[in-house]
Amino acid sequence: MSLAKTWLTAVHPGGSGIGQYLRTKIPHPTFRQFIGVNLAGFTFFAAVVVPQVQSAVSSIEVSLNTQKNVIIVDTSPSIYQWPLRSFGISQLFSVVHPGMDLTDPFGTPVYPIGDGVVTWIKYIGYGYGFHALVTHPDGMMSLYAHMSKIYVHEGQEVTKTDKIGNIGLTGWTTGSHLHFEVYQDQLPTNPLEVLPAIASGI
**CATH number where 109 lies:** 2.70.70.10
Averages of pLDDT over each 10 residues, the chain, 202 residues: 42 50 56 49 47 44 48 71 94 95 96 97 95 96 98 98 97 93 96 83 50
CA 50 to chain centre: 22
- From 23, 44, 64, give the residue that closes a domain: 64
Q: Are 30 and 91 in a shared domain?
A: no
CA angle in degrees (0–180, nearest 5) for 171-86-64: 40
Tally Cβ neighbours within 10 Å of residue 185: 9
Q: Are 43 and 115 in a shared domain?
A: no
- pLDDT tens for 64-84 read 444 456 776 665 667 899 999
Amino acid at position 16, single letter: S
- From 42, 64, 86, give the residue that closes a domain: 64
Distance, CA of 64 to CA of 116 (rounded, Å): 33
Closest CA to 177 of 168, 164, 187, 166: 168
Closest CA to 198 of 50, 92, 72, 13: 72
Distance, CA of 10 to CA of 1 (rounded, Å): 11
Strand residues in 25-176 grouped as ranges (E): 71-72, 86-91, 100-103, 109-110, 116-124, 129-135, 140-150, 157-158, 165-167
109 SS3 class: strand
What does the DSSP 8-state code read for residue 104? Answer: -
- pLDDT tens for 154-189 read 999 999 999 999 999 999 988 899 999 999 999 999
Q: How long a stretch of residues is the chain?
A: 202
Number of domains within the chain: 2
Q: Which domain holds residue 35?
A: 3-64
Q: Are 75 and 60 in a shared domain?
A: no
Residue 201 resides in a domain: no
